[in-house]
């Protein structure tokens, strides 16, 4: 007789076997009676295997690195437990764990839609401004005044541009 399948949430014998097709990919999950109840899979309307897989205990693989977000403090266990991310930086930290989850969840794994052009160019201008201001402060401390003047001019140019940008928006 074939080996009995184990529940993918606990280790009991799986009696509920689910198959769902998302984007022509077959997703299979085996669950025991009680986990199936707990996950609400008995209600075919409100249920998606993709959702279940995100929240499943894949973290039991001991090889998984314990990552932690420097900005909001979310760690691997939090991410596996809630299936959610805490801030923008989390997407850099948890990208390796997130990518496989997205494969089963969405049509593709890379964004193809709208791009917030204005916000992006403003953010990169802000980042550049910050770099230049730091460089200016350093040059002044080091009494490299010629260099400092260059930074000051560049900062002025950037600031003028952003004033124009704000003006054109209003």
The residue ranges that bind other proteins (CB under 8 A) are: 20-23, 44-46, 48, 50-51, 54, 71-74, 83-88, 91, 95, 98, 101-102, 105-116, 118-120, 122-123, 169
- Which residue number, 74 or 139, has a Cβ lying nearer to other proteins? 74
Pair 23, 3: CB distance under 8 Å: no
Neighbours of 120 (CB within 10 A): 10
- Which residue number, 24 or 62, has a Cβ lying nearer to other proteins? 24
User: Using CA atoms in the order 129, 130, 131, 132, what is the torsion angle rounded to 10 degrees?
Assistant: 50
Q: How far is the CB of 10 from other proteins (least distance, A)?
A: 24
Q: How far is the CB of 134 from other proteins (least distance, A)?
A: 18
Q: How far is the CB of 106 from other proteins (least distance, A)?
A: 4
Task: Name residue, tokens 């003006």.
Answer: 167
Query: Buried b vs exposed e over 65-90: b needs ≥16 C-beta within 10 Å?
Result: eebbbeeeebebebbbeeeebbeeeb
Q: How far is the CB of 21 from other proteins (least distance, A)?
A: 5
- Which residue number, 16 or 74, has a Cβ lying nearer to other proteins? 74
């Amino acid at each position: 007789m074939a080996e009995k399948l184990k529940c993918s949430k606990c280790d009991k014998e799986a009696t509920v076997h689910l198959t769902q097709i998302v984007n022509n990919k077959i997703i299979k999950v085996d669950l025991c009676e009680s986990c199936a109840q707990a996950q609400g899979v008995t209600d075919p309307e409100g249920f998606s295997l993709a959702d279940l897989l995100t929240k499943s205990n894949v973290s039991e693989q001991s090889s998984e690195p314990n990552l932690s977000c420097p900005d909001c403090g979310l760690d691997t266990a939090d991410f596996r437990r809630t299936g959610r991310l805490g801030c923008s930086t989390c997407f850099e930290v948890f990208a390796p764990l997130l990518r496989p989850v997205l494969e089963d969840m969405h049509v593709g794994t890379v964004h193809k839609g709208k791009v917030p052009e204005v916000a992006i160019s403003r953010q990169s201008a802000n980042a550049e401004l910050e770099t230049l201001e730091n460089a200016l402060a350093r040059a002044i401390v080091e009494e490299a005044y010629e260099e400092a003047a260059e930074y000051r001019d560049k900062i002025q140019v950037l600031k003028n541009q952003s004033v124009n940008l704000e003006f054109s928006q209003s």
